[in-house]
Amino acid sequence: MLRRIKAEQLQVGMFVARLGGPWINHPFWRSRFLVTSDDQVEQIRAANVHDVWIDILKGRNLPTPATPETMETEPADESASNFEEELELARELVKTGRAVIGSMFSEVRMGRALETNGALLLVDSASTSLSRHSQALLAMARLKAKDDYTYLHSFSVCALMIAVGRRLKLPDAEVRELGLAGLVHDIGKLTLPESLLLKAGDLSPAEYEQMRRHPSAGYRILNEARLYTNIPLDVCVHHHERVDGRGYPFGLHEHEISVHAKIAAICDTYDSLTSPRPNHQAWSPARAMEYIAVRVDTLFDRRVFKAFAGTVGIYPLGTVLRLRSGRLAVVCGQNGNEPLRPRVMTFYSVPESASLPPEIINLIESEDSVVAFEDAKHWGFTDEQLMEMYAPHVS
């Protein structure tokens, strides 16, 4: 049983289940712990933590009776959440993620050793969000501005790798390390000149060769951090390897590449293609999926792609489709056994060049069908606008 108290009420002997406020600044990397000293109490109070949830079954309670407003039944991490509610939580988590990753990368740029405690907290928060609703964080993380690409790309890849790792039924501890690997997979780019990373045109052969060194540079940074497992190092140095041997830096072939690096290869490519970058206009999710799908067994691993497609869908949430009826529709749900016939919400008539009242259609039960996928921007819609329309209809 959880009880919410103010940080000023915290006492030795209480069991902390959750900390409120900007946890990025607090010194406790564990999400749950028993308070055993006055020093811990003072550190929490000094860290700008506003509220504390204590578990009164595992530790000391306040002597005053709790009011209904302060008592909560402890929610299981795996409990389901409404998509719209989880979107709001995901929005805040993405903001926090940008701050955590920005701080972590700044420390590395200044020559300091990588500190992963905050990163692991972020991984755990992402994992919990994905447990409550499997799609909300993935949808929110895809909405990123060009200026935020460096930070939010890392967070998006983290979330995707967690989701795919679960789909492949990897052990929980391994999935957690996959999440951390996603956060730091591109950390070697911090050693490259900003002018190279922000260049709008094509890279010269010399610049491309310089860019290809970032996996090895990242490996050196992570090696100095003395991480608990080798998964983040493996992913960092091998996420550009390809199953036919055409990747870099070592030109490894399929059997030489770990499943973790194969997961990273697809998640990194998908998010890169669907994100705005200095030299790249963001692709639609369906176009990115098509790009990856036709390169299965040459660049990407088939088993991992099936898990990835099962996670985000052949037509991912938010994809705009043109139907045979001449209507545009946005994907708002998947049909597991029929990935090419999702649940959609129609919103625009192409023949009439006019918006339509929203209508939910399950293409499994409809005579209408998909004839093409579209780019929302070509029809005057942003991904954010579409999300506001379809979010109430996501199950």
**What CATH code is assigned to 83-312?**
1.10.3210.10
Percent of the chain with pLDDT over 70: 90
Q: Which amino acid is at 372?
A: A
- Closest among 254, 236, 258 to 246, alpha carbons compared: 254
pLDDT at 118: 81
Mean pLDDT throughout 258-265?
98
Is-above-0.75 flag for pTM?
Answer: yes
- Residue 85 and residue 75: Cα distance in Å, rounded? 15
pLDDT at residue 354 tops 80: yes
CB atoms within 10 A of CB 317: 26
Kindly write down the DSSP assignment for every residue of 56-88, as one continuous string.
TTTS---SSPPPTTTEEPPPPTT----HHHHHH
Region of poorest pLDDT, from 9-18, 277-286, 376-385: 9-18
What average pLDDT is seen over the chain?
87
Q: Quote the longest CA-to-CA distance of the chain.
A: 70
HSE of 15 in the Cβ direction (CA atoms, 13 Å)? 10
Say if residues 83 and 140 touch (Cβ distance below 8 Å).
Answer: no
- Residue 211 and residue 192: Cα distance in Å, rounded? 7
Mean pLDDT throughout 362-387?
92
Percent of the chain with pLDDT over 90: 55
Q: How many secondary structure helices (H) and strands (E) does the chain include?
A: 14, 10
pLDDT at 27: 53
The 51-55 sheet, strands edge to edge: 33-34, 15-19, 51-55, 2-6, 71-72
- Name the residue ranges covered by the structural domains of the chain: 2-72, 83-312, 320-393
Whats the size of the chain, residue-wise? 395
- Residue 216 and residue 248: Cα distance in Å, rounded? 10
pLDDT at 235: 98
Confidence tier at 13 by pLDDT (50, 70, 90): confident
